[in-house]
Amino acid sequence: MANLPSDDKRKEKLKVEVIPTYVNKKGISGKVINNRLAKIKAHFSEYELIGTHAGRRTFICFALSSGIPPQVVMKWTGNSDYQAMKPYIDISEKTKVNAMQLFEEEMSK
């Protein structure tokens, strides 16, 4: 982990060196954007494109979806503000609803 670039260095390199080369201001199609994003990805390894916050969000979402109470996840992650956790809790609720729908579909066959 010691040789991973900081989020600030990674963002600065994307902003200054790579993105201006491939991204136009307006009027470009989804296909063009995908092609340009592929070229951006070619300049970086995966760990350079994913910031540490992505891992944090993934951990929180998986923990909540696994049924761990929000208060416990908040303690683990150092969140003291319930409003900051609410988006993750909402995602967790959607996951539970989707899982129940899949279960009900299977049971009705």
CA dist., res. 74 & res. 14, Å (int): 32
Segment 7-60, tens digit of pLDDT: 666 666 655 555 544 454 555 566 776 777 777 777 777 667 777 778 888 899
Residues ≥6 apart with Cβ < 8 Å to 77: 56, 59, 60
The answer to whether the predicted template modeling score (pTM) of the entire model surpasses 0.85 is: no
Extents of the domains making up the chain: 7-49, 52-107
From residue 67, how far is each of 18, 45, 64, 75, 93 by CA, in Å? 41, 33, 5, 15, 10
Q: Please write the tens of the pLDDT for every residue from 13-28.
A: 655 555 544 454 555 5
Tell me, rounded to whole angstroms, the distance of Cα 72 from its chain centroid.
21
